[in-house]
C-alpha cells in the first residue's frame, strides 16, 4: 500500500538519505543510472548526506562512495562493517564475528546442499554470502536452531552472525553525525532492508521488492530500481525541505 506522508525525523525534518545499492540505486542489472547520480549529487550539494547501506563488501561500496562524492558513512556487509571518514582518516569498525557464519557454510557443504560462495567473498570479513541457487528455506532448515540470520537480497543469500543486520549497523554509523534512522529517508528492496525501512522517517521500496520490504515501506514507488530511487527521493520531499531551510 502507498502511504506518501513522511514521518518527521529528528528535529521535525528529514536530514539524510540511506540507500541500498544493487537494484535500488542501480538498475536491475546493476548499472548506475545518470538520473540517480544527478539526484545524489544534488542531495550532497544541498547538505543532505547520502549513506550507502549494502550487503556488498566494503571495497566495492567505498569505490562507489568516492566516485559519487558522498559524505555519509557506509554500512557494508549487511551491517557487519561500518566505514566513515574523520578528517583525513578512514575509520572502519567491524561489528560482527565471521566465525559462526563460516562454520555454518561448512555445515551446509557437508550436507551436500550445493551452496556456492560469491566471488566477492574473498574480500568479505564478517559474514558469508552465497549465490542464490539454493532457497533460503532450505538453508534455514539445514542450519536448524543455529541462531544465525539468513536473509536474501534478491542477488545473494547472506549468512550473518546473531544480532547482525543493516539496522544495527546504520544506527552505529549515524551516531557520530548526530542522527537516527527516524531522521532519514531509507530506500531498499530486499528482506535485509526491512528493519531499516520500518525504523526510517520515510521508507521507500519498489514494486518488485520482496513482500516484506514493500509492507515495511512508507511509500512504494511506481517505477522500478534506480528510476524508483529518483521517484522516492522526490516524493519524500527531503530536497525541497532542505532548500527551504536554507532560504533557497
Convert the pLDDT of each residue in 116-158 to its tens digit: 999 999 999 999 999 999 999 999 999 998 889 999 888 899 9
pLDDT at 11 (0 to 100)? 36
Candidates 169, 166, 231, 226; CA nearest to 202 is 231
pLDDT over 70 at 19, yes or no: yes
Rounded Cα distance between 39 and 229, Å, is 9
CATH class of the 13-95+165-243 domain in this structure: alpha beta
> pLDDT, tens digit, for every residue of 83-104?
999 989 999 999 999 999 999 9
pLDDT over 90 at 5, yes or no: no
pLDDT at 247 (0 to 100)? 62
Write down the domain spans for the chain.
Answer: 13-95+165-243, 99-160
C-alpha cell, 208:
518488485
Rounded Cα distance between 65 and 61, Å, is 6
pLDDT over 80 at 56, yes or no: yes
99-160 maps to CATH 3.90.1070.10: yes
pLDDT at 1 (0 to 100)? 43
* Residue 120 CA, distance from chain mean position: 17
In contact, 6 and 39? CB cutoff 8 Å: no
pLDDT at 245 (0 to 100)? 73
pLDDT at 145 (0 to 100)? 86
Rounded Cα distance between 206 and 208, Å, is 6
- Tell me how many degrees the CA angle 54-59-64 measures, rounded to the nearest 5: 65
pLDDT at 152 (0 to 100)? 87
* List 20, 189, 191, 193, catalytic entry: 20
| pLDDT-based confidence at residue 73 (cuts at 50, 70, 90) | very high
Candidates 229, 183, 234; CA nearest to 12 is 183
| pLDDT-based confidence at residue 9 (cuts at 50, 70, 90) | very low
pLDDT at 184 (0 to 100)? 98
| pLDDT-based confidence at residue 107 (cuts at 50, 70, 90) | very high
> pLDDT, tens digit, for every residue of 187-221?
999 999 999 999 999 999 999 999 999 999 999 99
Active site residue 20: yes
Give one DSSP letter per residue of the chain, joined into a string: -----PPP-GGGS--EEEE--TTTTB-TTSPBPHHHHHHHHHHHHTT--EEEE-SS-HHHHHHHHHHHT--S-EEEGGGTEEEEEETTEEEEEE-S-SHHHHHHHHHHHHTT----B-GGGGG--S-EEE-TTS-HHHHHHHH-S---EEEE-SS-EEEE-TT-SHHHHHHHHHGGGT--GGGEEEE--SGGGHHHHHHSSEEEE-TTS-HHHHHH-SEE-SS-HHHHHHHHHHHHTHHHHHHHHTT-
Rounded Cα distance between 18 and 11, Å, is 18
Amino acid at each position: 500500500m502507498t502511504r506518501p506522508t513522511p514521518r518527521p525525523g529528528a528535529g521535525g525534518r528529514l536530514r539524510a538519505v540511506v540507500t541500498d545499492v544493487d537494484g535500488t540505486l542501480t538498475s536491475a542489472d546493476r548499472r548506475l543510472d545518470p538520473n540517480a547520480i544527478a539526484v545524489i549529487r544534488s542531495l550532497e550539494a544541498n547538505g543532505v548526506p547520502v549513506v550507502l547501506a549494502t550487503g556488498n563488501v566494503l571495497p566495492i561500496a567505498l569505490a562507489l562512495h568516492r566516485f559519487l562524492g558522498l559524505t555519509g558513512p557506509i554500512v557494508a556487509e549487511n551491517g557487519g562493517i561500518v566505514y566513515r571518514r574523520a578528517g583525513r582518516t578512514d575509520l572502519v569498525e567491524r561489528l560482527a564475528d565471521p566465525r559462526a557464519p563460516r562454520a555454518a557454510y561448512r555445515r551446509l557443504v557437508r550436507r551436500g546442499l550445493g551452496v556456492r560462495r560469491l566471488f566477492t567473498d574473498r574480500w568479505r570479513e564478517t559474514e558469508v554470502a552465497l549465490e542464490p541457487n539454493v532457497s533460503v528455506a532450505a538453508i534455514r532448515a539445514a542450519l536448524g536452531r543455529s541462531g544465525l540470520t539468513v536473509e536474501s537480497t534478491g542477488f545473494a543469500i547472506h549468512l550473518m552472525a546473531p544480532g547482525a543486520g543493516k539496522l544495527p549497523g546504520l544506527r552505529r554509523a549515524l551516531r557520530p553525525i548526530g542522527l537516527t534512522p527516524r531522521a532519514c529517508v531509507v530506500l531498499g528492496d530486499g528482506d535485509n532492508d526491512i528493519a531499516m525501512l520500518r525504523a526510517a522517517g520515510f521508507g521507500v521500496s519498489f514494486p518488485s521488492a520482496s513482500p516484506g520490504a514493500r509492507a515495511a515501506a512508507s511509500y512504494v514507488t511506481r517505477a522500478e530500481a534506480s528510476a524508483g530511487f529518483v521517484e522516492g527521493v522526490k516524493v519524500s520531499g527531503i530536497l525541497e525541505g532542505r532548500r527551504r531551510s536554507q532560504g533557497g
